[in-house]
Structure 1
Amino acid sequence: MDIAEKQIVIWPRWRKVVFRFLFIYFTLTITPWAWFDAVPFLPKYYNQLWAWLVKFGNDHLFHITKVLVYPNGSGDTSYNWAEISLILTLSLAGCIIWSAADRGRKNYERLNYWLCVFTRYYLIMTALVYGIIKLYALQMEFPNLHQLATPLGDYLPMRLSWQFIGYSTPYQVFSGAMEVVAALLLLYRRTITLGLVTALAVFTNVMMLNLCYDIPVKIFSMQLVFICLFLLASDGKRLFDFFILNKPTPAADNYNFPYRKKYMRIVRVVLKVIFIGYALCMQIYSSYKEYLDEHPAQTKSLIKNGLYDVTSFKLNNKLPALFTADSLAWQDVILENGTGSIKTGDSLFKMRYSRGYFDYFIDTLNRRMDFKREYKGSVYTILSLHFELPDSNTIKLSGKRGEDSLKVELKRSKHHFQLAERQFHWLSEHNR
C-alpha cells in the first residue's frame, strides 16, 4: 500500500510537534544547500552568515566560551557546541511558529517520507565514506616506530584507541565492511529495517568509542545514532510486536511512494544509479589513490630507518643535563621514511607525547641532513647538519643549532618491539 492509498491518518498533537522540531533540526544539521559548492558565492556567503549567527548566539545566549575555537580537526570545539546549541534553539523556535501557523494539519505523511529518504541517504553516504576508507586500513594506521617508542602512559586516550584499532588490519577492515554492509542494506527498500538495525549497532559502537576514549567526534557520532533511532521509530510498532511481543507483523510500507507517472519512475532510477555510482566509485577511487600515496615504493637511502641510541651529544662541546624535562639533549632518535622524532625537551621541534617531531631530507651529494618543521602552514628548515657514516649502524651529525655548535653520534639500536610483529596464536599455553 502506498501513501496515496492509505486512509487519512490523524497524527496526535505531540507527534506533529516532534516532527516539526526534527524536520528543522535535521535540515539545519545536514545542510543540503551546502553541498552545492559549484554555485558561485553561495557557500561563501552562507558560511559567513552562519558563522555570524553562531557567534551572536554564543555571545548573547549560550556563553560556551568567551572566544570560540573553530573546527580544526576536532569536531567538538567550542564553536561546534555553540553551533549545535544554535541549531536546537532555532529548531525549537521554528517548531513553535510552525505549530501556531499550521494547527489544522492532520498529518505530515508525505513530508515525513521525504525527510526519512533524505536522512537515510545521508546515513548511507556517511557509512560508505568511513567504511570504504577502513577497507583500505587508512583511517587508523599500524603504529609506526615513533609511536612504538612512546611510553604507553604518555598517550592520550584517543591516540591509545587509534593504536588499538590500527594494530589489527583485519579488525579495522571488518569494522569498515560492517559500515559498507549497513549502507548497501539501506539502499534497498526491503532491507531498510535490517540496514538500520545494523547501522545502529555499528554507529553506537563508534559513539561509545568516541565518548569513552575522548575522541573529538562526539557530536557527529551522536548525530548518526540519533538519525538511526529516528528512522527506526517509523517502524517502532512493528519492531516492538516482533521482538518483544513475538507477534506477526505486516510488511513495512514506509517507503512505498506513489511514482505514478513513467518519467517519475525513470528519474528515480537514474538518480539512484548516479548516487550509487558517485558514492561507491568515487570513494573507492579516492581511497585507493590515498592508499597509493600512503604506501609509496620504497627507495634506498644512505641512512637506514630505525631507532638510534644517542651515544654522544655535545652542545658547544659540553654535555647538557640529560634527564630534565626541558633538556636540549637527545636521548634517542627515530628515522622512518622522511619523518623523525627525538626523545628530548628541545622546543625547536614539534613536541608531542614527550618527543620532538620533524621531517627530514637527505642531500646525498653534500652529505647534509635537513631537519624541517611545519609552522602556521609553512615549512621551515630548523637544522641543517653534516652527516658521516663510519659503518652501517652509526651516524655522526655535526653543525649549528642557532649560534651553538652541535655534535651528535647515533648508534642503531637492537631494541625489538614485540607489538610490531602482528602476533596471532590459535594455541596459547600461557596468558601472555
Structure 2
Amino acid sequence: MEPNKTVWKPYQKIAFRILAPFFILMSIPLTLDWYRHAFRVDWLHPHCRDFYDIVLIHNVFVKPSLEGWWGIGNYVNWGIHLLIAVIIGIIWTLLDRKRDNYTELYKWTRLIVRYRIAIGVIGFSFEKMFPTQMPYPSLANLITDFGDFDGHKIFWQSIGIVPWYQFFGGFMELLPGVLLLFRRTATWGAILTCSVLLTIVFINLGHHYSVGGIHVYAGYFVLLSLFILAPDLKRVFNLLVLEKYTQPALLYPALDTTFLKNSSRYVKVFLAVYFIAFGYFFYLNFRFDPYKQPSTPGVKNLRGFYDVAEFRLNNKLLPYDPMDSVRWSDVTFESWSTFTLRVNKKFYRNTAGGKSSSNTGHSSVDLEKGYEVSGVAGGRRAFHYFADTINHTLYLQDKKKRDLPDIYSKDWIPAAAQKNIGDDNHLINPRAWSTRRDRDFAKLDRDLSRDKMILSYSTKDGSEVILTGTNENKDSIYVVLKKVERKQTLSKSSIKAGTYY
C-alpha cells in the first residue's frame, strides 16, 4: 500500500477499509471489564498492577480452552476482530465508493496504532526492569528435582537466576516504546518491538506454554508493529542492505493547527507523568510487595532447608523411607511465610487459586500467590502460614484448594492467636499499601476448603527445630528437623524482590 499516491487502486481502498478498522479495534479497549477497572481505580492509593491493567488492552470476547497444541485457540479473538472489520469494510465500501484515497486517515490510523504499541510495551517493561515477573527461585524450587519442573518453569527460573539480564530484557522493551512515541523514530521502534517481542512469542511457543496467553499478547504487538513497518520495509532494505540514498515516508498527520500542536504536547506530558508514576509504584511493589511471591516475612530463626531427622504420626515412629507417602522427607522455610514439605505422592499444581479484585489475575493475598508452586510436579507441598510468635505456633494452609470438605472449624485460629498474628493485609511496609490490596483481601474466600495444619515450634538457634501439633487429617505429629547448609552452585541474587527482615 502506497498511501502517498493521489489515487489509490481499488484493491488498496478495499484493503484499507478492512485493515484500518481491524487495527483500530485491536488498539482500543472494547470490553466492559477494562472500563470497570479504569473507573474503579483509587488513584490516590494505587497499586502498580492498576497502572499495568490500564495499558493492558487485550480484548477477549471468547475464552478458549488453554489445552491443546500450543494453546493456538487463544488467537480466536484476533479472528473475531477481523470478522468485525470485514463487516465494517463491506458497509464502508458500499457507502463510500468514490473517494480517491485515504491518505490522511491512514496517517491517523498509524498514529493510534504506534501509540498503542508504545504504551503497551513500556508497561510490559517495568515488571522486568524491577525483576518481579520471573523472581529468583525460591529455596524449595532450588532443591526440587529438575525433572519435576515443566518446560516453561525451567525457562522462567533460568531467567530469574540472572536478574540483570531480566533488567536488560525490560530495557529492550522500554526503548522501542519510547522510540514509538516520536514520529521520526517510530520505524526503528517498530523494528525493535518486532525483534524483542517475536523472541518472546517463540520462547513461549517453544516451551508449550499456553496458560495466560503470553505468546498471544506478545504476538499482538508484533502484528501491530508490522503494520507500522509495512510501508518502510523497502526503504529500510535500500538503506541498510543496498546502501542507497533513502528518504523517510513521512507517514504522520500534519499538526497544522494550534489545537493539534497543543494536544500532541499534552498527550506526551500525560504519558510521561503516567509512566513515571507507574515506574515508582512498580519500584514500591518490587521492594515491599512483589506481585508474584509472598510479601509477609517468615519467622526469621526458622528460615532454611531441613532434613527430617525424626517423624512420629499418632505417637508411632516412622523410619525414613523414600517411598513413604506419609512421612516427610525434607522441609523448607522460605524467607517469606511459606513452608514446604516433600512426600512420595504424585502431585502437580498450576495455581494457588486466586484472582485479584480487578478480575485481571495476580491477587495481593499471599495465600493466593501461586508462582512459587506453579509448574512444579513431584511430591512437594507448599503451605502459607500465619505465625503467632508469642506462643510459637504456626497456622498453615495449603496453597492448593482441597477437593474434600474442610475438617478444621471456621474458627481454627483462636481469637487470641489472631490478635498476636495481626492483620495479614497490613504486614507490609505502609508505602506499598493500596486500595486494590484491601479489595483483594475483602474478596478472599476464607471458607474455601484447604488442607490445614496447626504446629507449635521450638528452637534455640534454628539448627534444630521441633514441630508438634496436628496435620491436615488432624492426626498428631511430632517432627524433629535438622538444618542442612546446602551450598548452591548459583550465586545469590544481587537484586532480589521483597524485603524480609
Number of residues of Structure 1 aligned to a counterpart in Structure 2 = 390
1:11 corresponds to 2:36: no
- For residue 156 of structure 1, what is the aligned residue in structure 2? 150
Please list every run of 5 or more consecutive structure 2 residues that lacks an aligned counterpart in the other structure.
Answer: 41-58, 353-372, 402-443, 495-501
Report the Cα offset of residue 138 of structure 1: 1.9
Report the Cα offset of residue 9 of structure 1: 2.0
- For residue 486 of structure 2, what is the aligned residue in structure 1? 415
Partner-residue secondary structure (3-state), 1:235: helix
TM-score by length of 2: 0.69
- Which runs of structure 2 are paired with 1:41-60 in the superposition (5 Å)? 54=62
One-letter code aligned to 2:483: R
Report the Cα offset of residue 101 of structure 1: 3.6
Q: Following the alignment from structure 1 to structure 2, what is the Cα–Cα distance between the partners of residues 29 and 299?
A: 42
Report the Cα offset of residue 246 of structure 1: 2.8
1:372 corresponds to 2:397: yes
Change (3 A) 1:320 1:28: farther
Partner-residue secondary structure (3-state), 1:417: coil
Report the Cα offset of residue 263 of structure 1: 2.6
Q: Which moved more, 1:233-242 or 1:139-148?
A: 233-242
Q: Following the alignment from structure 2 to structure 1, what is the Cα–Cα distance between the partners of residues 83 and 20?
A: 14
1:353 corresponds to 2:377: yes
- For residue 365 of structure 2, what is the aligned residue in structure 1? none
- For residue 23 of structure 1, what is the aligned residue in structure 2? 20
Q: Following the alignment from structure 1 to structure 2, what is the Cα–Cα distance between the partners of residues 140 and 254?
A: 38
8 Å CA contact 2:333, 2:340 repeated in 1: yes
Q: Following the alignment from structure 1 to structure 2, what is the Cα–Cα distance between the partners of residues 404 and 139?
A: 39
- Which runs of structure 2 are paired with 1:266-285 in the superposition (5 Å)? 266-278=262-274, 280-285=275-280
Partner-residue secondary structure (3-state), 1:418: coil
- Which runs of structure 2 are paired with 1:17-416 in the superposition (5 Å)? 17-32=14-29, 34=31, 36-37=35-36, 54=62, 80-216=74-210, 217-255=214-252, 257-278=253-274, 280-294=275-289, 301=299, 303-316=301-314, 317-319=316-318, 322-324=321-323, 327-336=325-334, 337-345=336-344, 352-354=376-378, 355-374=380-399, 377-379=444-446, 382-389=452-459, 392-401=462-471, 402-416=473-487
Partner-residue secondary structure (3-state), 1:32: coil
Change (3 A) 1:14 1:345: farther
Change (3 A) 1:166 1:391: closer
Q: Following the alignment from structure 1 to structure 2, what is the Cα–Cα distance between the partners of residues 22 and 321?
A: 66
Q: Following the alignment from structure 2 to structure 1, what is the Cα–Cα distance between the partners of residues 343 and 230?
A: 55
Report the Cα offset of residue 231 of structure 1: 0.4
Q: Following the alignment from structure 1 to structure 2, what is the Cα–Cα distance between the partners of residues 300 and 389?
A: 15
8 Å CA contact 1:328, 1:344 repeated in 2: yes
Q: Following the alignment from structure 2 to structure 1, what is the Cα–Cα distance between the partners of residues 84 and 301?
A: 59
Bigger Rg, structure 1 or 2: 1
One-letter code aligned to 2:167: V
Give per-residue Cα distances to partners, 1:103-159, cap 9 Å, x unaligned.
333222122112111111111111211212222122211112111111112111111
Give per-residue Cα distances to partners, 1:17-64, cap 9 Å, x unaligned.
332332232233333355644569xxxxxxxxx98x748xxxxxxxx6
Partner-residue secondary structure (3-state), 1:242: helix
One-letter code aligned to 2:304: G
Partner-residue secondary structure (3-state), 1:107: coil
Q: Could you say what the CA RMSD is over the residues aligned between the two structures, in angstroms?
A: 3.3
Q: Following the alignment from structure 2 to structure 1, what is the Cα–Cα distance between the partners of residues 111 and 398?
A: 47
Give per-residue Cα distances to partners, 1:139-188, cap 9 Å, x unaligned.
21111211111111211111111111111122111111111111121122
Q: Which moved more, 1:370-379 or 1:244-253?
A: 370-379
Report the Cα offset of residue 356 of structure 1: 0.4
Q: Following the alignment from structure 2 to structure 1, what is the Cα–Cα distance between the partners of residues 6 and 131?
A: 48
One-letter code aligned to 2:242: L
- For residue 61 of structure 1, what is the aligned residue in structure 2? none
Q: Which moved more, 1:372-381 or 1:212-221?
A: 372-381
Please list every run of 5 or more consecutive structure 1 residues that lacks an aligned counterpart in the other structure.
Answer: 41-49, 56-63, 424-432
Q: Following the alignment from structure 1 to structure 2, what is the Cα–Cα distance between the partners of residues 233 and 161?
A: 33
Change (3 A) 1:205 1:82: closer
Higher relative contact order (CA 8 A, sep 6+): 2
Partner-residue secondary structure (3-state), 1:234: helix
8 Å CA contact 1:370, 1:381 repeated in 2: no
Q: Following the alignment from structure 1 to structure 2, what is the Cα–Cα distance between the partners of residues 407 and 32?
A: 56
Change (3 A) 1:289 1:39: closer
